[in-house]
Amino acid sequence: MKKNPPERFIGIDISKKSLDIADSLTQQTWQSSHDESGIKNLVEQLIPLNPVLIVLEATGGLEVHLASALVEAPLPVAVVNPRHARDFAKATGQLAKTDTIYAKVLAHFAAAVRPEVREIKNQETQELANLVARRRQLVDMLATEKTRLRQVSKTIRESIQTHIKWLQDCIHDIDKDISKTLKTSSTWRENDQIIQSVPGAGPILSVNLLANVPELGKLNQKQIAALIGLAPINRDSGAFRGRRSIWGGRSHVRSILYMAAISAMNHNPVIREFYQRLTEKGKPFKVVITACMRKLLTIINTMVKTKTHWKENYILNA
């Protein structure tokens, strides 16, 4: 009986100045500089190795250029949640932490868990995501200053009002930048029109989905719900049946979906009927709003996949 050839998995630990690489097949480790030439050389080294999977962690944006270069090669790469990799390291008894050791942990994680390869943001999408993230930061600062304004004495009120005006101007300017960026891509323009055709789904939800969910329209209903963190998780053991809850996923997208679902429960006939049906069954509001968020997301996902706009008689099975 012919044996299958041994499989190779690569783990890469990322820091600002260097990349530490581990090969699961040979147990070799090496280091590369974390700059344009270092990434280029690393990609050239990895191509002939023909790895089954390359795993690296999401590190607040440090991984973007490397992940993009690997995808363009093309090489199979998965960017994983750091918490999952750390939990795996603890579960396997690997408590020591150096860059080299952690690269080996990631290679072991790749071989044992085999995380799914998902679409990586290209440079243009990453730039849009950066604008969206900055807008969110400014909105949070504005909300904080408005709250502070109601609590301070008259002596510093003028200073806060000046800052509020500055923040509002910044948000206005970044909204123009986001609009301009969306117009650079025909796909973004088309999908933006599709998403905003859904009652309750406005420009904020649209741009957040376009920037932070490049998988939109490419996954099925269960996959897209799990990706955002809207798939209920069972908590059962023996005869015990715990309450299901949502966890993980892309929380910043989920928070935008929450507000969109609130709007859709009033203005979207499909979501409104769904909301009323669940409420009449006595479901708690938290369960109802989560279900509405999931339904709104899956409707949008299907519409983007099929390139169809909203219609009043648009019906999607729950």
List, for residues 263-280, the tens digit of each pLDDT value.
999 999 999 999 999 999
**CA distance linking residue 31 with residue 19, whole number of Å:** 6
**CA distance linking residue 33 with residue 65, whole number of Å:** 13
Please report the pLDDT score of residue 244 as a whole number: 52
Domain borders along the chain are 9-113, 123-184, 199-318
Q: Domain 9-113 classified CATH 3.30.420.40?
A: yes
Question: pTM, whole model, 2 decimals?
Answer: 0.72
Q: How far from 82 is each of 88, 126, 137, 312, CA to CA, in Å? A: 10, 19, 23, 43
Strand partners, 21: 12, 30
What is the bridge-based pairing of β-strands 53-57 and 9-14?
A: parallel
Strand partners, 74: none
Please report the pLDDT score of residue 58 as a whole number: 83
The pair of structure tokens assigned to 224 is 């897209």
Half-sphere exposure of residue 191: CA atoms within 13 angstroms, side-chain side: 24
Q: Is 98 left (phi over 0), alpha (psi -120 to 50) or beta?
A: beta
Most confident of 19-28, 97-106, 225-234: 19-28
**CA distance linking residue 313 with residue 199, whole number of Å:** 12
Q: How far from 122 is each of 51, 97, 129, CA to CA, in Å? A: 22, 31, 10
Question: Can you tell me the mean pLDDT for 47-64?
Answer: 88
Q: How confident is the model at residue 74 (pLDDT cuts 50, 70, 90)?
A: confident
